[in-house]
Amino acid sequence: MKRILLGLTLIGLLNSCSEQKDSNFTLEGKVKGMRKGIVYLQRDIDGQVSTVDSLFLKGTDSFKFQGNIESPEVFYLSTSRRNSSTLPVFVEKSVIVVEADVKDILTAKIEGSENQVLLDQFNHIIGRYNSYKNELYVKGLKANTNKHFKTFKSISSQYERNEEKKLRYILNFAVSNGSKDIAPYIALNYLSSTDITVLDTISKSMTDEIRTGKYGKELDELVTQIKATIIGKKLPEIVQQDSTGNDIILENKNGFLLLKFWSSEATNSRISNSFAKNIAEKYTNEQVTIVSVSLDTDKEDWLEAINEDKLPWLQVSDFKGYRNEAVRKLAIRVLPENVLVDHNGIIVGRNIAQDDIIAKVAEYLSTQDTINDENSSTIDNKVNN
């Protein structure tokens, strides 16, 4: 059963933004052109953007939210206007003023936050890299379609150089702003699936004050988790629940264990189920055991997706979204993702491609055949003697 957000569920939140005596931040401003409707204040809670406050506007375009934060944090503003975009605002312990237009809230002018100024600068440069990336993608697609392979190869090289330059810019930006909360925020949102050395470099560049803030703590935790679960490390003990609520310990005793992370709401991870089906059809359960770990928070949505996608292997979840125990312990940041574990419980692959899995399994089976042949030869020799 798909969840439907009903406006009536927000009634208890409307007009809840009266003056708060002990607040340490104020987020106020105007939404030009909006004289009636709802302005939502949202926040990332355990990987889910959730509405934490709202204000019903009638006869005015002004809004005002107040609250408390322990350290600078990105909140989001959106409206009840159909197809309204979501505006990220880096809130600090100050008065933040937003001047927006209901037609395009993303063009808003935001004042009163140092981190917001840096975020705007960052987004401007990254926007240029992304625009060029999209331009190259279109050109490359056209060249490939027309079988201009030499041109396609040249465009592909330009594409790769652009991505490399963008990565260097992100790293340099984060390191040079280690005294601001923007640094770990950028690392978590733009570099979370990159090489651990990059994240570690940014982590070490943070000042003590930033390290104790919301994003500084999250980045240090992520770096620690990644280091503990890189290739060559042992799979940590993880407990999940199957569809009937039974506790399942994620462990491997023979062959390979392929942990596949997904969500019923993530289109790409739903598509990736076909990749797992190819592996399931090619190998026995003793050779490769597949377990799908869901980041869903709604059990009915999860069960419906399993049924729709016809997934025959073990399905588990603890319905905590990105706070899922397996997700935290294995530092999973994007979907879809997978972790491959060998028969000794050692992690031998992360986000591994289908061909690489097949190659590793083939190598393992070849080794097992050799061991069996040697054991058989030894037994024959003993019998003959």
Per residue in 108-129, pLDDT (tens digit) is 999 999 999 999 999 999 999 9
- pLDDT computed for residue 373 by the predictor: 47
CA distance 337 to 319: 17
Sheet containing strand 36-45, strands side by side: 48-58, 36-45, 73-79, 87-91
- 288-294 and 314-317 beta bridge pairing: parallel
Q: Average pLDDT, whole number, for the chain?
A: 87
Rounded mean pLDDT, 71-75: 97
Length of the chain: 385
pLDDT, mean of residues 94-101: 96
Name the residue ranges covered by the structural domains of the chain.
8-111, 115-228, 239-367
Q: What is the CATH number of domain 239-367?
A: 3.40.30.10
Q: Name the CATH superfamily, with its identifier, for domain 8-111.
A: Immunoglobulins (2.60.40.10)
Give 309-353 pLDDT, tens digit per residue. 999 999 999 998 888 999 989 998 888 899 999 989 999 999 888
Mean pLDDT of 9-38: 71
CA 74 to chain centre: 16
**Whole-number pLDDT of residue 383:** 54
Residue 370 φ then ψ, to 5°: -65, -45
pLDDT at 235 over 90: yes
Inform me whether the pLDDT recorded for 379 exceeds 80: no
Between CA 111 and CA 107 the distance in angstroms is 13
3-state SS assignment for residue 112: coil
